[in-house]
Each structure stands twice: as C-alpha cells, then as structure tokens.
A and B are shown apart, each in its own frame.
Chain A
Amino acid sequence: MAVETREEAVTIKHHSVDYSVVGTRPIRHDGVDKVTGAARYGADVSQPGQIYGAVTRSPHAHARIRSIDTSKAEALPGVHAVITSADLADPGEKVTGGGEATAVPLKHKSGNVMARGKALYHGHAVAAVAAIDAHTAGEAAALIDVDYEVLPPVMDVLEAMKPGATLLHDDLHTDIAGEASAEPSNVAAKFLFEEGDVEAGFAEAAVVVEREFTFATVHQGYIENHNALALWHGDGELTVWCSSQGHFTIRAEVADILDVPISKVKVIPTEIGGGFGGKTTCYLEPLAAALARKAGRPVKMTMARADILKATGPTPGGYVRVKMGVDSDGKLTAGEAYMAFEAGGYPGSVVAAGCMCVFAPYNLTNVKIEGDDVVVNRPKTHAYRAPGATQAEFASETVVDEICEQLGIDVLDFRTLNSAEEGTWRAGGPAYGRIGHKECVEAARGSEHWNSTLEKPAGTYRGRGVASGFWFNIGFTSSAIARLNPDGTVTLLEGSPDIGGTRSSIAMQFAETLGIGFDDVIPMVVDTDSVGYTDVTGGSRVTFATGYAAHEAANDMRKQMIEGMADVWDVAADSITYENATFTANGESATFKEAAHLLNEDTQQIIGKATVTPEKEGNAFAVHIADVEVDVETGKVTVLRYTAIQDAGVAIYPPYVEGQMQGGAVQGIGWAFNEEYFYDDDGRLRNATLLDYRMPTTLDVPMIETIIVEVPHPGSPFGVRGVGEVPIVPPPAALAIAIYDAVGIRYRDLPMSPHRVYAELAARQNGAEA
C-alpha cells in the first residue's frame, strides 16, 4: 500500500474574531501522564484488601431462568461472595433517572445489569462472584449452575415485528405517543414526525427515488475495558471508582439499582479509555457494589473483551426505507422515511434521533418519518457517536446521490440549492439558528481534493463519493468551580470526564475569559461530591456546555476579585476595571497574579462557580469526500484519499478538533466496510474478539485530510459548536457512492465487506453472461 503524506489541515474562518488562547495549539494539561503510563484509568485503581469479581453469563440468546444453584461456586476455596439479581433491589415498577439519568423503567435498567427471570441475549449477566483473585473468581463463575428453558431467539427487527413472533417481554406494549397498545409486542415504541404535505410534495416531483437499506449491529469499540471498584465504608457510604462518560449518571443508576440514597454514593471518575456513547450507563458498577457489600471487602471488576462485545451496548442494526422527490429544477419537494432499529433485549434504541436526522441537512418542508423501536435478542443497544444519524443518513445521502445522477445535477450544487440554513424547520423542530452546512459544501467545492482529478489507470476501478452529515449536538447541564491559588493560577474543577482533550478545551475558554495564560489554569475532573451536577460527556456537549460553565465561573471569579480588590485597596468596586488581565482603580494597578497574591494575604478565598444549561445547541454539519479503489476480483475496497470538512463553530483547540474529525471518519470507514455483529442460528455471537470484530488498523486508512469551517455558534460565548459526533455520519454513504462511481453498483447494505461487494459484482457478471 502506498500512501502519500499530504499537507496538514486547513481552516476556513467565517468570522473575524481573534483570541489569544482559544484557537491555539498548546500541549494538553494531562498529556505527560498519558505518554508515560502514569495516567490512572479505571482498571489501574486498586484498594487495600480488594478482591476480584467475575460474572456468569448466559450461553443462550433467549432463555427463561428456572433456577440458579450457586452452591458449588460458594464452596470453592477463595470465594467470598456470590450474587444474583435477588441481591439487587426489587425494581417493581419504579422509573430510574428523570433528572440525573435517562428515564427508563428500573426493571429494564436493573435487568440489563443482571438478568431477572429471563436471559435476553447471549452474554447476559445472570450471576456474579467475588474471590481472592481474578482466576479463582473466573473458575467460581463457571461453577454456577443455571437451569435454563431455552426459547427461540428473535434476532431481526423485521422478523420481530411479524404477527406471531416470539415475544421477549410479555408485559411490553407499544408506546404510541404516550398510549400503550392493547396487545404486548416486540415493538416498544412507534415514533412519527410529520411536517407539511408529503403527498402534495411527491405530486410536484419530477423525480422520485425510493430505496431500502439495512445495516448491521456495530460496537463503539473503545480500547479500554469496562471496570469498577467498589468500597463500602463503615457508615454505609459507598465509593465507586470507574471510567465512565458521566459519573453523575453512574451514581444515580447505582443508587437506584441498589436502592441506596444517592447522597450515600460517591463516584470517583478515573481516566477513561474511550466511550463514544457506550460508557454512558452502568454495567459492572452495581455488581461490584453488591458483591463488596456481601463480601465486606472492596471488589474490583474488569470486563473481558468478549463480554464487552456480547453484553455492552452496541449501536443498532436495522432497516431504513427512504423516498425523496425533487422537481425538475432540482429542488427537493418531499421526503418520506421509515426505519426500524434494534433496541436489543430492552426497549430504547436511538431510532427517534435517526428519524429527526434523516433529512436534516436539507430544506425539506414536506416530510413524513416513522420509526419503530424493536426489542430483539441482542444486547441492549446504546448510543454510538451521533446515535442513529449514521444509519439514517447512509440511506438518505445515498438516495440524494441517485437523484443527482438522474437529474444530471452536480452533487455539491444540489446541496447548495437544497441546504438547510438559518430558519429552516427541521423535522421534529426547532428551526435552525445560524448553521454552516452551506459553508461546508462551499469548502468542499473549493478543496484541493474535490478539484483534483482521480487518476484511473487502465484496469483499475476507482471512484469518488461525497456525502453530508448532520448531528444535533446537545446542551444539557454542566458545572464548574474555579479556585484561585495564591500564586495566581486557577484550579478548575469540572464534572465532565475528559475523553480527548476537553480538560484543555474547557480551560482555554476559562483562560480566554480572564485574559490569563493556558498554563495558568489547572483543570481537574473531580468526583460527584466535589463539583456541581454535570451531565455525561456525550452529545458533543462538553467543550460547548462545560466550556460555557467555565466561562461563567471565570466571570464569577472576576466579579469576586474586583470586590476583593475593592477591600484591599479600599475603593468602590465599581471604580475597578479589569483589562488585559490587570485590575486598575484610582492609580492602583495589579496584575491577575499580583491580585491573587494580595487577596491571599488579605485571607480572601476566591471561588468562582457556575452551573449552566445552555438552551441553544450548535448543530453540526459535515461534508466528506472519499476516493476508493475496488479490487473487482476480490471485492475488497481500498480508501485512496479522504477529506473531512466540518463546521466546528469556533475551533477552541484545533488539533483535537482535527482529531475528532479524523477519528470519527475512520470509525465511519470501519462501519462501512468490515464491522458487524455476526450471530449464528442460535443467536450466539461468533465474532466476539478484536480479531474477528474488525476495526480499522493503521493499514486500512490513509491520512485523513481535514478542513475546519468556522461559522460561530451564537449560543456560545466563544462560538463553540461541538465537534465530536458528526464526523462519523457521512463515511458509509460517501464510500457507497464512491464504490458506485467505481463499479456502477449501488450498495445499500452495511457493511460493504469484500464478500458482499464481490457477490454483487459476480451476480452482475453472471447476469451479463446468462
């Protein structure tokens, strides 16, 4: 494989603001610890006297649990405790969350942590043990006898919806706009988004394209394994160490699942080794806590990779049908979509988000979008980077390409003509504020990549594809506490686990607000007792919302320092000005650092704080360009060149914005080509290893070129939009379109793995010969 190293990233600014810290490229605060092995991730934490937990998991995809005999495990020397779901709180009909976690029936949340009555997927936890070492715990877990009544597995969403399909839950009724269906069903909920008049829209259309798509279950694939360490104190208080995307959420879930007052639970966040949406809920934490309570010892648990793939939330596979119409001028007139997503063993897929994203890059006033959330005997699915958007937009962007082909219109011109813009109403609402999809299209049109000719030597099959992507981004709640140190630095406490440089992107906004330096701010991610409530690191929200909280905390600190300096100087507070990081009044002057010293001498403690819930999220758009080569003999596709273009609002910490764009693009490439859950006829996952769950390696991707487009988000003090998620959205469509350009076959099923690509090529060949 020959790969050319290309120029580094490009940034295109649609604003004239110039900051001194924001937009620079310093070395991240936590960097040195992360290159020396000193950084402490979840599994790196230990407590004196700790023992080790292990989980017994269902070998069946669908089975009633008749009984569990733990006696042999308990008798094994070295075993300290054995638990089953009976050791967790009876969930009754309680609802968990509704404040600090997503509101779901507790019986589902608790049941997913440990099966209650029924095992609903291969690898579902049914019991757990704690023993003197991990090997003994593993041996004990294997000694637990579970008497199963094996039931037929229901693996496919369309099969699960058929009349007479085996039901996963006898008490699950379809939720339709808050009303429950009369009969139980595997369809947990139906969603409908309708705007304008779809029939009239299609009647106006000159070209209508309707296509069906399927996509496989895929996993987030973070490299760090799930982990938990639980310690009960003598006063009934529980401390849990774990890596998660939101320790406040873990605290709430553990409290509910064990029925312990939330104030008795402290969750200490460790460094987190990737999450991508998959670490926004608990798996091991309640089990470690229940085992530790029973054993009277701290219990440490880590999850093996096979169990992660089998039993933590992948993101849904399923089915999408998309129909779009355009008039003869190329203007979109109507869009209709139906999608069914795998929820997994319990309700709650991301299908509603998929519905709201499917047409979101476009100004489309006549739409009807329906979505079904369907339970199947697969692990409870979860968010994965722009959850639901990639599946939905793979379908719609592929249809857009086909429409452009039929109309003979340039794909970028089509996007400029039909792009959503400020004021466009998105299906499900609201109307967009200032967004940058058009600017991304413009950047694509002007890019070196788009303007380069794709060389096609004789005998090669090469093609280029382009696709847009949309993701909402979210606001939610974030807190920050800033403590002024005597030396003039600031310790910034925050509640957002840092998965990829957000300590620094938050600190940079704090520093910019006060005009102090990057290194003058010392950001720390602290436990649930030490900072105000903060929602998960997800939804591309941290640099936006926690950065916003840091900005407000900085403003609070400035206000307090002015008041404090008024005391020191014995002047009126309103006579003090603060500019260029210097306090000035009546001929007195003190730099920020000098003021810190003076305030400390004056025994004044300055603690700025803020909690924010910003209302206006900065919607994210991306346009990706992909060049591929198809080996028509084998069906293997190679990515030759790839460019990711994205509106970042204002890129606070550009190298990490580029990193998000590159990483998201490569995850999307993996999703497009080789990642999938492969189940056998009995519903057992056959590829639960990083050997056979094939994520891209260094050799599977080229350099990922980036173009950051900056259209500032008016809802953020520094114009932040949030960048983490949308780059995963365009790749599958862009690559499918590029493959079409190369070989003339439309691929509508993910992954486009070699044997699938080959099968269509062979079918065409055989058809031609017949």
Chain B
Amino acid sequence: MATEILSGKVHVNTTINGESTDFLAEPRESLLEVLRETLGLTGAKEGCNDGNCGACNVIMDGRLVNSCCVLAVEASGADVTTIEGIAGPSGLHPLQEKFLEHAALQCGVCTPGFLVSAKAMLDENPNPTEDEVRWWLAGNLCRCTGYDKIVRAVLDAAASMRGEG
C-alpha cells in the first residue's frame, strides 16, 4: 500500500506529561509551536528556533530534543515531557528546589530548558561530575547567570537525589 502523503491539518495523538493528547497541526508546524500556541504549554520558549539555545528543550521518548527542530507530526505516538511535567503531585522536583535555593536563575527564560535538560541527564547519569554537567548543558544558553549557580544547583540536586543532600 502506498504511503499516504499528509498535508493540511493532520491529526496527531501523543502523550504529553503522561496524558494522552490529540491535536491538529500542519506538517510545517514544529512541536514547539504546537506546544505553545495550540496546547497552551508555554513553558518551553523560543530563543533561536534553530537548535542553538536549548530554551525549547523537551524529552521525547526518553531523549532530550530541541522541540523547535521537531515537526509536530513527528511526535505522533511519542511520549513527551515538558517543563510543566517535571514537578510531581507532591511538589517540586529536586532540580527545581535546588535552582531556587541556589539562585540559579535570574530572568528565568532559559530556566525551563535547563531544568528539562538537567532532568534528562540525571535520568541517565545520577552522579555526574562538574565537567559532565557542563558538557550535557552546553546546548542551553543562559545570558544572565554565568552558569556558576546553575552548575552548582544541578550537582546539589543530583547529590540530594542520591540521598547525599
């Protein structure tokens, strides 16, 4: 059977932050656009729209991705976690708590991307070194903090999640 070529508004079913979610999107719409403009999940930000700032980062099927570089139609059947899904019902994620404790944000616009990226890292590597944290987060630009307090917060959150905090 020949593959269907989709155009116009396409129906997409995904799981976003644990909930089955349906939306309509044109193939040219990015996952970021749909999250923000269609689904009202404005936590992911557009900073560059070309994969160079990390402010739109989400976790898709367990991998960190720049949602500006994903077509929304590609998310069909995917499991997506956004910043809105990081905190649990019992409260903030340790990363969120440590960002606040360490003053690891100033204007806050890059913060959702950093938190999502850091979560993806800790999911994979619960005991990162400072160098590993800096490597993993190199795709997230912050113009306010100079990164110092962000790196400290991530290391401290990791320690706390390992029960060392």
Contact = CB atoms under 8 A, between A and B. Distances in A.
Given A36-B96, A224-B47, A2 B105 contact: no
Contacts of A46: 37
B19 to A, nearest CB: 15
A698 interface: yes
A276 B145 CA distance: 12
Interface stretch (A122-130, A552-560, A689-697): A689-697
A3 B109 contact: no
Interface string A489-522: 0000000000111000000000000000000000
Contacts of B106: 274, 499-501, 656, 659-660, 663
Contacts of B143: 220-223, 274, 276, 663, 667, 695
B108 interface: yes
A35 B99 contact: yes
Contacts of A31: 100, 105
Interface string A287-302: 0000000000000001
B148 interface: yes
A143 interface: no
Interface in B58-72: none
Contacts of B105: 31, 34-35
Contacts, number: 185
Interface in B141-165: 141-152, 155
Contacts of A500: 106-107, 144
Contact of A655 (B43, B149, B151): B149
Contact of B146 (A223, A225, A272, A663): A663
B146 A665 contact: yes
Given A44-B36, A701-B147, A703-B151, A304 B135 contact: no
Contact of A697 (B36, B87, B133, B138): B138
Interface of A: 1-3, 5, 25, 27-28, 30-32, 34-41, 43-44, 46, 134-135, 220-225, 271-276, 302, 304-305, 499-501, 655-656, 658-660, 662-667, 689-691, 695-699, 701, 703-704
A35 B52 contact: no
A662 B144 CA distance: 8
A691 B51 CA distance: 9
A664 B148 CA distance: 12
A306 B100 CA distance: 32
A703 B148 contact: yes
B45 A273 contact: yes
A698 B133 contact: yes
A640 to B, nearest CB: 14
Contacts of A221: 143
11 contacts: A1-B131, A28-B100, A32-B96, A36-B87, A38-B84, A46-B37, A135-B26, A223-B109, A663-B143, A697-B139, A704-B146
A666 to B, nearest CB: 3
B100 to A, nearest CB: 4
Given A43-B46, A135-B26, A223-B142, A37 B109 contact: no
B141 A305 contact: no
Contacts of B111: 34-35
A37 B84 contact: yes
B75 interface: no
B148 A662 contact: yes
B41 interface: yes
Interface string B23-35: 0001011000100
B22 interface: no
B73 interface: no
B14 interface: no
B92 A32 contact: yes
Interface of B: 26, 28-29, 33, 36-37, 41-50, 52-53, 55, 82-84, 86-87, 92, 96, 99-103, 105-112, 115, 130-131, 133-135, 137-152, 155
B86 to A, nearest CB: 7
A723 B136 CA distance: 31
B52 A689 contact: yes
A699 B100 contact: no
Closest 4 CB pairs of A and B: A37-B43, A273-B109, A500-B106, A666-B146
Contacts of B43: 36-38
B113 to A, nearest CB: 9
A334 B149 CA distance: 42
A655 B145 CA distance: 11
A674 to B, nearest CB: 13
Contacts of A656: 103, 106
A691 B133 CA distance: 21
A43 B40 CA distance: 11
Nearest to A305: B48
A655 B106 CA distance: 10
Contact of B109 (A30, A224, A659): A224
Given A37-B42, A271-B108, A703-B148, 12 more contacts: A34-B111, A36-B83, A36-B86, A41-B109, A223-B141, A273-B107, A499-B107, A500-B144, A659-B149, A689-B48, A690-B48, A690-B141
A665 B44 CA distance: 27
Contacts of A696: 147
B101 A225 contact: no
A691 B50 contact: yes
Given A27-B101, A32-B100, A659-B106, A37 B82 contact: yes
A746 to B, nearest CB: 27
Contacts of A135: 26, 28-29
Given A3-B134, A663-B145, A698-B151, A35 B96 contact: yes
A222 B45 CA distance: 13
Contacts of B50: 305, 689-691
Given A41-B45, A690-B50, A35 B92 contact: yes
B149 A690 contact: no
